[in-house]
Amino acid sequence: MSKLLLTGFEPFLENRHNPTEQIVLELDEEVVGEFEVISRVLPVDYERAAEMLIEYVDQCEPAAIMMLGLAADRTKVTPERIAINVNDSVEDNSGNAPVDQPIVKGGPAAYFSTLPIKKMTDALVENGIPAEVSNTAGTYLCNNVMYSVLYALEQKEMDIPAGFIHVPPTFEMTLHHSAHTGFPYTSIRDSIKLMIYALSDD
Amino acid sequence: MSKLLLTGFEPFLENRHNPTEQIVLELDEEVVGEFEVISRVLPVDYERAAEMLIEYVDQCEPAAIMMLGLAADRTKVTPERIAINVNDSVEDNSGNAPVDQPIVKGGPAAYFSTLPIKKMTDALVENGIPAEVSNTAGTYLCNNVMYSVLYALEQKEMDIPAGFIHVPPTFEMTLHHSAHTGFPYTSIRDSIKLMIYALSDD
Amino acid sequence: MSKLLLTGFEPFLENRHNPTEQIVLELDEEVVGEFEVISRVLPVDYERAAEMLIEYVDQCEPAAIMMLGLAADRTKVTPERIAINVNDSVEDNSGNAPVDQPIVKGGPAAYFSTLPIKKMTDALVENGIPAEVSNTAGTYLCNNVMYSVLYALEQKEMDIPAGFIHVPPTFEMTLHHSAHTGFPYTSIRDSIKLMIYALSDD
Amino acid sequence: MSKLLLTGFEPFLENRHNPTEQIVLELDEEVVGEFEVISRVLPVDYERAAEMLIEYVDQCEPAAIMMLGLAADRTKVTPERIAINVNDSVEDNSGNAPVDQPIVKGGPAAYFSTLPIKKMTDALVENGIPAEVSNTAGTYLCNNVMYSVLYALEQKEMDIPAGFIHVPPTFEMTLHHSAHTGFPYTSIRDSIKLMIYALSDD
pLDDT surpasses 80 at C178: no
CA–CA gap between residue C101 and residue A21 (Å, rounded): 43
pLDDT at B125 over 80: yes
In this predicted model, which residue has the larger pLDDT, D56 or C13? D56
Average pLDDT over residues B30-40: 97
The two beta strands, D82-84 and D35-42, are unpaired
pTM score: 0.95
Mean pLDDT for the stretch of residues A7-23: 91
Tell me the average pLDDT across D163-178: 92
What are the helix (H) ranges across chain D? 19-27, 49-60, 117-126, 141-155, 171-174, 185-200
Is pLDDT larger for residue D178 or for residue D64?
D64
Confidence of residue B104 (pLDDT cuts 50, 70, 90): very high
Assign D148 a pLDDT band (cuts: 50, 70, 90): very high
Q: Report d(CA D76, CA C174) in Å as an integer.
A: 10
Mean pLDDT of the A162-188 span: 92
Nearest to B57 by CA among B33, B40, B32, B36: B40
pLDDT of amino acid D201: 83
Q: Do C100 and B109 touch (CB under 8 A)?
A: no
Search chain C and give the residue with CA nearest B137: C135
DSSP for chain C, written as a single string:
-EEEEEEEE--BTTBS--HHHHHHHHHTT-EETTEEEEEEEE-S-TTTHHHHHHHHHHHH--SEEEEEEE-TT-SSBEEB-EEES-B--S--TTS----SB-SSTT--SEEE--S-HHHHHHHHHHTT--B--BS---SSHHHHHHHHHHHHHHHTT----EEEEEEPPBHHHHTT-TT---B-HHHHHHHHHHHHHHHHT-
Q: Look at the alpha carbons of B143, B146, B149, B155 in this order and tell me if their dihedral is positive or negative.
A: negative
Q: Do A81 and D86 touch (CB under 8 A)?
A: yes
Is position B80 annotated as part of the catalytic site? yes
Q: What is the DSSP letter of D168?
A: P
User: Per-residue confidence at B111, pLDDT binned at 50, 70, 90?
Assistant: very high
Nearest CA in chain C to A180: C179
- Is the predicted pLDDT of residue A179 greater than 80, yes or no? no
Rounded CA-CA distance A131/A133 in Å is: 7
Which residues of A lie closer than 8 Å to C, measured between beta carbons? 73, 178-179
3-state secondary structure of B29: coil
Predicted confidence (pLDDT) at residue A201 exceeds the cutoff of 90: no
Q: By percentage, how much of chain C surpasses pLDDT 90?
A: 93
Q: Of the listed D36, D80, D91, D172, which one is catalytic?
A: D80
Q: What is the mean pLDDT of residues A81-97?
A: 97
- Which chain C positions have a beta carbon within 8 Å of B108's beta carbon? 108-110
Measured CB to CB, residues of chain C less than 8 Å from chain D are: 75, 125, 128-130, 132, 171-172, 174-176, 178, 181-184, 187
Identify the band that residue C76 occupies on the pLDDT scale cut at 50, 70 and 90: very high
How far D81 CA lies from chain B's nearest CA (Å)? 24
Chain D residues touching residue A108 (CB < 8 angstroms) = 108-110
Chains near C, with 3+ CB pairs < 8 A? Answer: A, B, D
**For D74, how many CA atoms within 13 A lie in the half-sphere containing its CB?**
22
- Summarize the confidence of residues B8-37 as an average pLDDT: 94
With an 8 Å Cβ cutoff, are B110 and C84 in contact? yes
Q: What is the pLDDT of residue D202?
A: 83
SS3 call for A159: coil
pLDDT at A177 over 80: no
Which residues, 6+ apart, have CB-to-CB distance to D155 below 8 Å?
none
Helix H or strand E segment including D35: strand D35-42
Of residues A91 and A180, the one with the higher pLDDT is: A91
CA distance B178 to chain D (A): 10
Q: How far is A125 from chain B (nearest CA, A)?
A: 6
Flag whether pLDDT at A12 surpasses 90: no
Residue in C112, C135, C138 nearest the CB of B109 = C112
Concerning whether B60 is annotated as a catalytic residue, the answer is no
Name the burial class of residue B99, with classes exposed (0-12), middle (13-18) and buried (19+) by CB atoms within 10 angstroms of its CB: exposed
Q: Between D1 and A164, name the one with better pLDDT.
A: A164
When pLDDT is cut at 50, 70 and 90, the band that residue A16 belongs to is confident
What is the percent of chain D where pLDDT is above 70?
A: 100
- DSSP conformational letter for D55: H
ipTM computed for the complex? 0.95
* Strand order through the sheet with D64-70: D31-32, D35-42, D2-9, D64-70, D162-167, D78-79
**Percent of chain B predicted with pLDDT > 90:** 93
Beta carbons within 10 angstroms of residue A179's beta carbon: 12
Taking only the tens place, the pLDDT of each residue in B41-60 is 999 999 999 999 999 999 99
The CA distance from C90 to C94, in Å, is 11
Cα–Cα distances (Å) from D184 to A105, C143, D66, in that order, read 42, 29, 21
pLDDT at C12: 84
